[in-house]
Amino acid sequence: MKKTLISLSAALLLFSSTQAISYADTDEEPIQNVYINTDILETVSSVDLPYVLDKALKDNHNLALLALKYAAQGSKKADLESQMNTMGSASFTPGHLPSTPAEVTSTGNPQLPNLTDPTDIAWTVMQNNVINQMMQGMGALAGGMNTIISAQRAQMKTAAHQLGTDQRNSQLQTDEAKEGIRLQTIAQYVQLLGQKKQLDFMNEYETVMEKDLLRASLFSQQGLASADDVQTVQKAINKQKDDIATLLNNYRLGLVQLSTDIGISYDPNLVLKDIANMSTDPIKETDTTTLLKSSYQMKSSGNNIDEALWETDFSVTQNTYGNTYLGANLAINGQKNEQTKLDLTKKIQTTYHDAQNAYQAVLSEQRNLTDVQADFTKMKFRFDVGVISKHDLNKFQVKVRQNETTLAAAKLKYYVLMEKAKAMDTGFIQ
């Protein structure tokens, strides 16, 4: 036996080696298909947030997959229900033939004559016993088949019910995904808008620094400034240029990603319009229980608990172990529901906390800008009366622009958090 196994292994190794050599000798390679669609990209010169949101939601691949998943679950559920309704049962009519000498000599049935010949009696008894055993076996077989069919029908009923629950959860996932895509796109657009405003300010500030360099060079020529002063300004300009280059690269990368996401051709000079009617009013908080009741995740968790309850009542189990599993499954879903509630409660609190801090930041930056604007008014008066130079006034004006840019960034951050907080009212808690 051991030699046989060794011979078999050797034969398999030899066959594998032969196959490898034959594949190596041939020029043919396995076919590898790659499917890449050529997208038709729209060309635009400017975009605003409503346009971007519409494009992001219209042809989103994740939403398309969720729609296909929902349809597949519905189709499979209908298929299982159809099979279950058409599944028949095995039937067999029991019977009994006379199988003892007393029975065959006195059948009591006009269609079965009473036998008198000993040979006929013996032969009939033997034959009828075999037929009775066959009929008993067929009856047992039919009973076994009915037991199997009944179990299959119960399994199909459970699977169809589970698919119905999965379908409801898929619809919740679709609605949740739409809101998630909307918030992600808003955050993406806001980030790009903030970067563009920062770039505009940095370029403006670089112009002022170039004038500082020219001024320092002139002063150095007149002996009113040292070479170190000129070098210090030049180093500051170089760092400013590096910072601008880094921010510009990040901005263009974000612009490429946004263009890809919404299906438009990339244009480095694409104009991002400001967000219209961007409110800076304080957020009106909704109580936690109301938010939890409308949460997509809590609804999905509730569906899973309902499914576990249904299976506990209607699943067919063969022993106590099956019942124990169903009870444990119900307990697991109950614990998951509690954990989901706790996690979402923390997220609700964090979202409102972050939004409140962002709102305070907006108020603070607004006060700072008001103070700087008041100081600029005073500086302008001093310039008008000849106390300060035009260069000093321009430098202070850049400071005003810096505060305006900082305030704009604070408002954009608050806008994103405000939209995130509003989304919780629709059921999306992240």
Q: Does residue 329 surpass a pLDDT of 80?
A: yes
Q: Does residue 420 surpass a pLDDT of 80?
A: yes
Distance CA 139, CA 161 (A): 33
Distance CA 268, CA 277 (A): 26
Distance CA 258, CA 56 (A): 9
* Range in 134-138, 169-173, 209-213, 293-297 the model is least confident about: 134-138
pLDDT single digits (tens) 135-148: 776 666 666 666 66
Average pLDDT over residues 412-423: 96
pLDDT at 145: 66
Average pLDDT over residues 356-385: 94
The secondary structure element, H or E, covering residue 271 is: strand 271-272
CA angle 359, 372, 246 (to 5 degrees): 70
Q: Which residue pairs from 325-330 have beta carbons closer than 8 angstroms and sit at least 24 positions apart in sequence? A: 330/305
Global pTM reads 0.78
Looking at per-residue confidence, does 394 or 184 come out higher? 184
Looking at per-residue confidence, does 91 or 367 come out higher? 367
Ranges assigned E (strand) in 302-373: none
For tokens 């608990």, name the residue: 305
Q: Does residue 7 surpass a pLDDT of 50?
A: no
- Top-confidence range, 55-69, 131-145, 230-244, 307-321: 230-244
* CATH 1.10.287 is the classification of domain 284-430: yes
Q: Does residue 324 surpass a pLDDT of 90?
A: no
Output DSSP code: residue 42. Answer: B
Percent with pLDDT over 70 in the chain: 84
pLDDT at 222: 84
Distance CA 150, CA 87 (A): 9
DSSP 340-399: HHHHHHHHHHHHHHHHHHHHHHHHHHHHHHHHHHHHHHHHHHHHHTTSS-HHHHHHHHHH
In whole angstroms, how far apart are CA 430 and each of 37, 189, 284, 351, 418?
A: 33, 19, 18, 8, 13
In whole angstroms, how far apart are CA 191 and each of 79, 187, 250?
A: 48, 6, 11
Q: Where are the domains of the chain?
A: 284-430
pLDDT single digits (tens) 382-405: 989 988 988 888 889 999 999 999
In whole angstroms, how far apart are CA 423 and each of 57, 181, 297, 314?
A: 16, 11, 13, 38
Q: Does residue 24 surpass a pLDDT of 90?
A: no
Across the chain, what does the average pLDDT equal?
A: 85
Distance CA 412, CA 194 (A): 7
Give 273's pLDDT tier (boundaries 50, 70, 90): very high
Query: Within 10 A of 241 (CB to CB), how many other CB atoms are there?
Result: 13
pLDDT at 26: 55
pLDDT at 6: 41
* Range in 15-29, 77-91, 106-120, 164-178 the model is least confident about: 15-29
* Range in 3-12, 240-249, 282-291, 373-382 the model is least confident about: 3-12
Q: Does residue 339 surpass a pLDDT of 90?
A: yes
pLDDT at 25: 52
Task: Locate all alpha helices (DSSP H) within 47-117, ordered by sequence.
Answer: 49-58, 61-86, 101-105
pLDDT at 348: 97
**Burial state string for 248-259 with b = 16 or more CB within 10 A and e = fewer than 16:** beebeebbeebb
Tell me whether residue 304 is exposed, middle or buried, using C-beta atoms within 10 angstroms of its C-beta: 0 to 12, 13 to 18, 19 or more: buried
Q: Report the candidate in 45, 47, 44, 43 with the shortest Cα–Cα distance to residue 272.
A: 47
Q: Taking a C-beta distance cutoff of 8 angstroms, is the pair 104, 114 a contact?
A: yes
